[in-house]
Structure 1
Amino acid sequence: MSRHVAIVTDSTAYLPPQTMERHAITAVPLTVVVDGQALEEGTEISARSLAQALQKRRPVTTSRPSPEVFAATYRAAADAGATGIVSLHLSAEFSGTYDAAVLAAKDASVPVRVVDTRMVGMALGFCALTAAEAVDAGGSLDEAVAAAEKRAAGTAAYFYVDTLDYLRRGGRIGAAQALLGSALAVKPLLELDGGRIELREKVRTASKAIARLEEIAVERAASEAVDVAVHHLSAPERAGALAERLRERIPAMAGLQVSEVGAVIGAHTGPGLLAVVVSPR
């Protein structure tokens, strides 16, 4: 982080390690608690281990980074020569991560702009990458923030889960919607809307839900130059097949990434998650 404006995000951005290294992006880890044991996402618990814990119905919760962790990250950036920091995080509707970053920013030795992107996954990752690219091009602190906020405003994220139970347990979606979905034996299609998880459509079967997810992504992309990310949890074949179909159907696609979500998001969606992020450049 030797650049004049440092870019900080959190571990739910799921940016490829080589991308983070190339653009000097730092990710502060969230924590997953399994059977009372606190484990850092990305280093101490894998998506596979998380999926196994969920399938065995072991108690799983998540927690935000502490303000002290953010303070240390900001201090390291300043010590490396940064004169300003952009700190971009997952939706405050999901986590107290944004609030922890705000608390730490108050005592930082350099200006820190903390942004609630109202996104998660590569929807957040694209925002962090855009801010880093703005800085690479010589942009100021304000210009990097503006670039990230513009990217966030145009980005859409849609996802399919096999069951709403995990989201209901974590309080990420209304209990009434979860019960309704179970009662009707439907497969839910969800979307990020205003930083919250909302039910977009209810489809009768998994195959129809995934086909509809594909259609929604293609419609959202239209003819714009877009980056696309396909996320999954314990469903690599399903994700790969969807990615290939999207590659064929979105002619203006600028970039495509397929990746498994980490333990924090996986804890709230459960195995079988399939998500698509569409982010205009």
Structure 2
Amino acid sequence: MVKVVTDSTAYLEPGVAEELGISIVPLNVHFGDEVLRDGIDITAAEFFRRLDRSPEMPTSSPPSRSTFEKVYSELSKTTDEIISIHISGKLSQTCAVANAAAAPFLGRCNIAVVDSLTMSLGLGILATAAAKAAVQGKSLDEIVRLLRGMIPHIYVVFFVETLDYLERGGRIGRAQAILGSMLGIKPLLIMEDGEIVPLEKVRTRSRAIDKLFDFVIEFPHIEQMAILQKSPVATEETLLLIERLEMVLPEMEFPVITYGPVLATHVGPNTMGVIVYEGMV
């Protein structure tokens, strides 16, 4: 049976990884010289508490090649086919490291590394679909084709409260960051071909939330979606957004999920967004 590997940026409901046999490789979070494994040495809640106190901005890095090799080696004892699906290559070098780690297994284990072009729940949906397909007896090629078909139907849109993290990541220039901060601009961003790019500029959080609402209700069909924020507890503005969405989409569920330390190093705290999987329409 095909075995599935993903990374710690994937959002999976508790127990799903164990139930479906998904192996999770942790990315690293850096506070100065301190290196912490995402989801093992530091949780999202701990990260945000520490971020509030830290004088320096944290960074992230992919898992080491040896970490991947260890996971692949263990799995290759029971299978000769592995699918390894990870955070967008535009946000992390995780896929590149996974490919390098897979190379020595050529000839004894077929490892397909897939760039999800997404993260969080989007990556979780793909990893779950791959694992369920594997349980059903699908081949590695069939699972790769399934994921390639699903990827274009996953959308991530969000807005940020501060432009500092986008500037540091090279997604906007210094002049844009200074001017944007002076004007109180909160850019609405979208994941496009795996990259975070500007979609629209708004001046207030309430207007940004209006834009999230407008984005969601444009879909004729939604198979799964979630509201993304730093805390699992719905805020007053999140509850208002859910209330508006329920009026238009009464059959739909709108879970509130947290984004983790790795995404936070790119977008900062107090980000809010939506992740939509429209299904294979």
Closer, same or farther in 2 for the Cα pair 1:202/1:136, shift >3 Å? Answer: same
Closer, same or farther in 2 for the Cα pair 1:8/1:246, shift >3 Å? Answer: farther
Q: Answer yes or no: is 1:67 the counterpart of 2:74.
A: no
* Greater alpha carbon shift after TM alignment, 35-44 vs 264-273: 264-273
What does residue 135 of structure 2 align with? 136
* Partners of 2:10 and 2:119 within 8 A in 1: yes
Aligned partner of residue 9 in structure 2, secondary structure: helix
Deviation string, structure 1 residues 74-104 (Cα, Å, up to 9, x no partner): 111111x122001001111111101000001
* Distance in 2 separating the partners of 1:174 and 1:90: 24
Aligned partner of residue 162 in structure 2, secondary structure: coil
What does residue 267 of structure 1 align with? 265
Aligned partner of residue 269 in structure 2, secondary structure: coil
1:235 to partner: Cα distance: 7.1
Q: Answer yes or no: is 1:38 the counterpart of 2:54.
A: no
Aligned partner of residue 79 in structure 2, secondary structure: coil
1:176 to partner: Cα distance: 5.1
Identity of aligned residues (%): 38
* Partners of 2:126 and 2:147 within 8 A in 1: yes
* Partners of 1:226 and 1:252 within 8 A in 2: no
* Greater alpha carbon shift after TM alignment, 265-274 vs 179-188: 179-188
What does residue 48 of structure 1 align with? 45
Q: Answer yes or no: is 1:8 the counterpart of 2:8.
A: no
* Partners of 2:234 and 2:256 within 8 A in 1: no
* Distance in 2 separating the partners of 1:113 and 1:182: 43
Q: Answer yes or no: is 1:19 the counterpart of 2:11.
A: no
Q: Answer yes or no: is 1:91 the counterpart of 2:59.
A: no
* Distance in 1 separating the partners of 2:217 and 2:183: 28
1:202 to partner: Cα distance: 0.9
Taking only aligned residues, the RMSD between alpha carbons, in angstroms, comes to 2.0
The count of aligned residue pairs is 274
Q: State the 4+ residue runs in structure 1 displaced beyond 6 angstroms.
A: none
* Partners of 2:232 and 2:257 within 8 A in 1: no
* Greater alpha carbon shift after TM alignment, 229-238 vs 156-165: 229-238
What does residue 212 of structure 1 align with? 211
* Unpaired runs of at least 5, structure 2: none
Closer, same or farther in 2 for the Cα pair 1:171/1:160, shift >3 Å? Answer: same
Q: How does 1:40-189 map to 2 (within 5 A)?
A: 40-59=37-56, 60-79=58-77, 81-108=78-105, 109-175=108-174, 177-189=176-188
* Distance in 1 separating the partners of 2:21 and 2:176: 41
What does residue 228 of structure 1 align with? 225
Closer, same or farther in 2 for the Cα pair 1:129/1:256, shift >3 Å? Answer: farther
Read off the aligned partner of 1:136 and give its amino acid letter.
V
* Partners of 2:231 and 2:257 within 8 A in 1: no
* Distance in 2 separating the partners of 1:209 and 1:134: 37
Aligned partner of residue 237 in structure 1, secondary structure: coil
1:243 to partner: Cα distance: 4.1
* Unpaired runs of at least 5, structure 1: none
Q: TM-score, normalised by structure 2?
A: 0.90
Read off the aligned partner of 1:32 and give its amino acid letter.
V
Read off the aligned partner of 1:34 and give its amino acid letter.
F
Deviation string, structure 1 residues 187-216 (Cα, Å, up to 9, x no partner): 111100111101111112111111211221
Deviation string, structure 1 residues 98-153 (Cα, Å, up to 9, x no partner): 10000011112310000111111111111111111221222110111111111111
* Distance in 2 separating the partners of 1:16 and 1:174: 37
* Distance in 2 separating the partners of 1:18 and 1:149: 25
Q: TM-score, normalised by structure 1?
A: 0.90
